[in-house]
Amino acid sequence: MPDSLSIIIVTYNSADALGGLLDSLPSGLDGIERSRILVIDNQSHDDTCALARSHPIGAEVIEMGRNAGYAAGINAGYRLIDPDDHVLVLNADLRLGHGAASMLVERLRGPNVGIVGPRLIEPDGHLAHSVRREPSLVTVWSEAIMGGHLAARLGLSEIVAHPAIYRCGGSVAWVTGAAVLIGAQARRVLGDWDESYFLYSEETDYMRRARESGLKVVYEPRASAVHVGGEAGTSPYLHAMLTANRIRYFGNYHGKLSTALFRAGVATGEALRLPRGGIYPAGLKAAITPA
């Protein structure tokens, strides 16, 4: 029996981006015999739902009736699809490369592989460093003091920048959740995503649970997608949410002292960048405000 794939796209005011993703799916799903596309909408106030319904790709639109968050949208999709389906979760601002889905599914057939992420490409054609290390005191303080780019080049950042993994692929701690394939077995083992994160760090948590369950998270560079993204880098509100959830995630798996040191590292990084203005005042406030 051929693999069956369900695609879950969680949207929120995504009308400007969603059409490009839906346009890319016929090519991106080439080689997949059976697929189902679900757009789970978190009460958009623009034309997202109308666009999705009118698109010739034939997506099913499920309206949540509220802005329930990214993880809740994924979970709603889980409940609507066959338990034996693999699930490809895609951000609305992606453009799936030709045959990407079948390449991800093929990689999923490896021993104990539960989750697979593709190569992400920036709109200008540059490689996006989408592979991550598990957050630690070393990574957070290195990023705070050195800055993310230098810490990544030295192998001390949460962001993995070493070219070998992006060239050859392999097992990783986690990948950014903009595009990720979750195998049916992983879905059965892991259950739902943690909805308490609302947005950001939910994929870090989900992939940690996968690794702790004996399932591999794998990066597959043959499969590719263009990711526009980047709103957390320009929106103070989203940056504050990302900052708070980084700390919250770390605290869920570490003791009070380690979490306090992690929070201090995040706050130091935000404080050192205050002269740049923009998102950093909101990030500092989020870092020093207990959840």
- What is the per-residue pLDDT for 1? 47
Which residues, 6+ apart, have CB-to-CB distance to 234 below 8 Å?
Answer: 278, 279
- What is the per-residue pLDDT for 229? 74
Burial class (CB in 10 A: 0-12, 13-18, 19+), 40: buried
180, two tokens: 């990720």
CA separation for the pair 13, 236 (Å, rounded): 18
- What is the per-residue pLDDT for 230? 60
DSSP secondary structure letters along the chain: ---EEEEEEEESS-HHHHHHHHHHHHHHTTT-SEEEEEEEE---SSSHHHHHHHSTT--EEEE-SS---HHHHHHHHHTTS-TT-EEEEEETTEEEPTTHHHHHHHHHTSTTEEEEEEEEE-TTSPBP--EEPPP-HHHHHHHHHH-HHHHHHTT-SSB---HHHHHH-EEESEE-TTEEEE-HHHHHHH-S--GGG-SSSHHHHHHHHHHHTTPEEEEEEEEEEEE---GGGT-HHHHHHHHHHHHHHHHHHS-HHHHHHHHHHHHHHHHHTGGG-TTHHHHHHHHHS--
- What is the per-residue pLDDT for 234? 83
Q: Tell me the pLDDT of the chain (291 aa) as tens digits.
A: 457 899 999 999 999 999 999 999 999 999 999 999 999 999 999 999 999 999 999 999 999 999 999 999 999 999 999 999 999 999 999 999 999 999 999 999 999 999 999 999 999 999 999 999 999 999 999 999 999 999 999 999 999 999 999 999 999 999 999 999 999 999 999 999 999 999 999 999 999 999 999 999 999 999 999 998 766 678 999 999 999 999 999 999 999 999 999 999 999 999 999 999 899 999 999 999 987
Instruction: For domain 4-229, give the CATH number.
Output: 3.90.550.10
CA atoms within 13 A on the CB side of 205: 22
In the chain, the N- to C-terminal Cα span, in Å, equals 48
- What is the per-residue pLDDT for 232? 61
pTM of the model: 0.95
The answer to whether 279 touches 236, Cβ cutoff 8 Å, is: yes
Domain boundaries, the chain: 4-229, 236-288
The answer to whether 175 touches 164, Cβ cutoff 8 Å, is: no
CA separation for the pair 28, 22 (Å, rounded): 10
CA separation for the pair 65, 116 (Å, rounded): 30
